[in-house]
Amino acid sequence: MGEPEKAKQTWVFSFIGIALLVAFIQFVQFSKVPWFVLPLVYTALTYIPMKWMQGRKIQSHLLSGGQLYKGDRVFVVSFVGAVATYLVLLIANMFFQAVTTGVVS
């Protein structure tokens, strides 16, 4: 959308979000939380700021004939993001295990 500063902000918010996700996973007992709650929470926490910060611009872009990316590109980007998030969570979990138990399994 021609706003490189907002792209940088998006990256900062993404890293903060991943850090919060890691902290949430480490400090909450998931035996009491249904499996579907986490995806609902982080989806809402990304959708709401997106609509607030860029909703009008996206709507204007689409109304003026602007195009969306095709589904295959969205899938690839989403898959890469999911793998990166999984790796961060795996590494963080190993780190927290090592700190709390002194042993990495």
66-96 exposure pattern, b = at least 16 Cβ within 10 A, e = fewer? eeeeeeeeeeeeeeeeeeebeeeeeebeeee
Instruction: Give the pLDDT of residue 31.
Output: 60
Q: Encode pLDDT of 16-57 as tens digits.
A: 877 777 777 766 655 676 667 777 777 777 788 778 877 888
Instruction: Give the pLDDT of residue 64.
Output: 92
Asked if pLDDT for residue 105 goes beyond 60, the answer is no
Q: Encode pLDDT of 6-26 as tens digits.
A: 778 877 887 887 777 777 776
